[in-house]
Amino acid sequence: MTDEGVPGAGQRAPLRPTRQRRAITDALAGAEEFQSAQDIHDALRHAGEKVGLATVYRTLQAMADAGEVDVLQAPGGEAAYRRCSASHHHHLVCRECGRTVEISGSSVERWTESVARDNGFSEVSHTIELVGLCADCSR
């Protein structure tokens, strides 16, 4: 069957490989952490690539829909993006001084997957935020 365009349930736009599209992909590939659309736009600027901010937003959104990037809602109403399958870890932040501790959570990863499976969900991504008082600030 060569029918690769059969109108059905969820057929997405073709996603043509343009210069700006590639630039954005590269920017994501080069960063380990989450970045906002504007961060990426700035990075492209500094790298000499001229890409409109609207294009960055549209592309990032398309990539998110296609499951190519993970999206995280940051406080302040910004959306942050990161390429999928990056080394996964979370942060424990002090609400008083902002000190941050990087934590790995193999147990949570496992818990996440089992919960997803139990409920028939797949391709589950998780966002975990731990905020508390660090030793110094609680004294």
Partner DNA sequence: TTAATTGCAAATCCTTTGCAGATTC
Partner DNA sequence: GAATCTGCAAAGGATTTGCAATTAA
* Closer to a copy of itself by Cβ: residue 42 or 113: 113
With CB cut-offs between 5 and 8 Å by kind, which of DNA, a copy of itself, none does residue 36 bind? Answer: DNA
Yes or no: say if 43 and 35 are a contact pair by the CB < 8 Å rule: yes
Binding positions for a copy of itself, 68-87, rule CB under 8 A: 71, 73-75, 77-79
Rounded CA-CA distance 73/101 in Å is: 20
Please state the closest distance from residue 42 (CB atom) to DNA, in A: 11
**Site for DNA contains 14 (CB under 7 A):** yes
The residue type found at 22 is R
Please state the closest distance from residue 107 (CB atom) to DNA, in A: 31
Give the position of tokens 């940051």: 74
134 annotated as ligand-binding: yes
Rounded CA-CA distance 92/72 in Å is: 16
Tell me, by CB under 7 A, how many residues bind DNA.
26
Rounded CA-CA distance 24/100 in Å is: 28
Tell me, by CB under 8 A, how many residues bind a copy of itself.
38
